[in-house]
Amino acid sequence: LNPTGVYRHLREEQELVLEFVEGNGLQPGGIYYLTGWQSAASAQATLSGVTVIGLLDRRSLPLSVYYASVPADHVLRDIFAAAGVSNYSIDQSLSQILLTGPLPSGSCRIPLQQVCISCGATVTVGRDGVLTIAPPIDPAGSPALVDTMGEPDISQAELVSAIEIPVNQYTIAEEEAEIAAVPVTDIVTDDWETYTMDVTGKLNGNYLITRAELISTSGRCTIRNVTGGYNCLRYDAAAEPGGSLSLRLYGLSVAATTTITTVSISDKPGTVVRLDNIPLITRDNLSIVRDSLVNYYSRRLQATVTTINGARLHAGDYVQYTTGLTTPASGNITRLSIDMGAGFVAEAEVLG
């Protein structure tokens, strides 16, 4: 990427606006961000890109952060701020859901996924490029009618009879205490550099680290701008070449316990699904998570529908389609693939 010459205008993560030609006008086809290109001729290139969700995969949260009864929309804004993403919309209802627990560092996509599961929300990216986080479209509403081409391919998903949900509880100490003295293994130079230390699993328990003190060095060394997180911290350090240091950490201990809540969906024999432990699921938001998962796993009708309505449909839409039988079926679009060379003929995967 970032080439010179005839392709010098191609830049990594450059915004790509896709539009469809329909009649005498244009229809939006989405906004993507350049991740690669390949040329087969001097004046042509094949471009590869990702949506804004793909950008979140390429961004990282520097520290694991602990939240205590914080509205879900605030947590989401923190993730987007860390990712440098501003083209998003958060449903107002999420401000009423309070989240407690640590959010992991690393790829911003994982924290986004954990927050959405913890508040029963879905993520969609529209053709305007906006990332929208909101509860699923209510199937109790009126579905949009889809003109189908031929009969849809219909199957039934495996029966899920129960869901096991790990539920977390946290107790935070009221007083700061000394945690441990930790050697620093990073190579520290005589120039100021920013370092991140993750002590997950290396201490006797979990901690909200509040500060750190320099306790030993070999050679001249200085630290500054210490920022604590959940079992981690960031700091700036500078030392003589070959210098090393140790830090004494202080913080608040966090006692975390996890129990399993089993939710029955059907009395018939079937698969029991166990949700991965998401730290933000607590007793406070368990009912929201439970209702969301029961709604999802109770919907077993899977259909692949070919339609000419591709230009007007979006992922997440609640639609109704004909099946070749007397009664039509309905569900939410989980995936939509459009053939741009076939007059907006689309293949929609529908779950109902």
Give the pLDDT band of residue 291 (cuts 50, 70, 90): very high
Is residue 79 classed as helix, strand or coil in its secondary structure? helix
Tell me the per-residue pLDDT of 93-114, one tens digit each, with 9 for 90 and over.
999 999 999 999 999 999 999 9
The rounded distance, in Å, linking the Cα atoms of 317 and 311 is 13
**pLDDT confidence of residue 206:** 94
The rounded distance, in Å, linking the Cα atoms of 67 and 65 is 7
**pLDDT confidence of residue 60:** 92
**pLDDT confidence of residue 8:** 61
Is residue 18 classed as helix, strand or coil in its secondary structure? strand
pLDDT at 20 over 80: no
Q: Do residues 14 and 21 make contact, with C-beta atoms less than 8 angstroms apart?
A: no
The rounded distance, in Å, linking the Cα atoms of 192 and 63 is 19
pLDDT at 71 over 90: yes
Mean pLDDT of 206-233: 87
Tell me the per-residue pLDDT of 53-65, one tens digit each, with 9 for 90 and over.
999 999 999 899 9
**pLDDT confidence of residue 2:** 59
**pLDDT confidence of residue 243:** 60
Tell me the per-residue pLDDT of 130-158, one tens digit each, with 9 for 90 and over.
999 998 876 556 777 787 888 888 888 89
The rounded distance, in Å, linking the Cα atoms of 300 and 350 is 10
Q: At residue 147, what is the residue type?
A: D
Tell me the per-residue pLDDT of 180-195, one tens digit each, with 9 for 90 and over.
888 877 666 778 888 8
